[in-house]
Amino acid sequence: MSVSDTDNAYEVLIPNIYIGQRVDQTLASLFPQFSRSRLQNWLARGNLLIDGEIIKPKTKVLGGEQIIILDTQDGEESAFQPENIPLEIMYEDDSLAIINKHKNMVVHPGSGNWSGTILNGILFRYPSSKNIPRAGIVHRLDKDTTGLMVVAKSLEAQIDLVRQLQSKSVRREYYALVNGQAPNRGTIDQPIARHPRNRKKMAIVSNGKDAVTHFTTIDRGEEWSALSCLLETGRTHQIRVHLTSIGHSLLGDKTYKGNTKKHVALLDTLSFQRQALHAKSLTLVHPSTRELMNWCSEIPDDLQSLLTELKAYDIE
């Protein structure tokens, strides 16, 4: 099938940072919204072409190849469709945009969430982002984590930002409310991978990916603490898993059982139905100007109300 015979669902050039990787591994990195098996099926049947050809999954990437995903005919085309999703933009220029993510927003399309995501909103607001892997998204936040995330508006900016993340030079600070009286400060250096029995969860696993979280306690009460957390790495559910591992799980985090009986009653009263985690500060080098830039996001109202009620409970 020639490329000109059909409309393309997605076209993108492979960045040079993937040189030497296998094609199937590169595709999984560039298109996390699709499973590895689906991508491999598309490769096998010619719905996904590399430089116009069907390529074996083990082929090594040279850099600069053109990926074309053709009409998949399987109902997942909506994952790539622009939608007028309201996005709070803290800052934008020709190279990047800083989004202040609200709660209950999915970043990437995926199983059960094929529309209404931040990626769909980016495609609507910035049509040219369809030519950038992941529509320029270089890191993600969980559905119910609020706060700052950066989006690249050009391939060059994305490559630069990814390199900054890989070199651990991007400073990402989170505000967290947790169970118990946490130590004044600490570093959690434990590898993370998929939970061996529950695939919806992550866990500390000896052969997992390196993960490092630094934390400082900035406030505490009888049965709670407010923490400032700095990420050295960015693994899925990293803060949630790491803090749970030291006995200070996030308030409201049902996945990692983060509530005492007392806190359950309080959270129900406030209708607080998410993990108490907010990405409050982001610092990075601008990919074009090389200026060191910082953005801050205020603690959202629901998290501030929870803190107020926790302090009130201490007084009673």
Measured between alpha carbons, how far is residue 144 from residues 21, 54, 90, 149, 151 in Å?
A: 33, 39, 19, 14, 19
Residue type at 118? I
The four Cα atoms 87, 250, 227, 247 give a dihedral, to 10 degrees, of -160
Tokens of 127: 């049509």
Pick the catalytic residue from 7, 142, 219, 302.
142
Pairing assessment for the beta strands 292-296 and 185-189 based on DSSP bridges: unpaired
Tokens of 114: 């094929």
Any long-range contacts for 160-163 (C-beta under 8 Å, 24+ apart)?
160/287, 161/96, 161/284, 161/287, 162/15, 162/17, 162/138, 163/17
Measured CA to CA, the distance from residue 176 to residue 65 in angstroms comes to: 42
Active site residue 301: no
Catalytic residue numbers, as ranges: 142
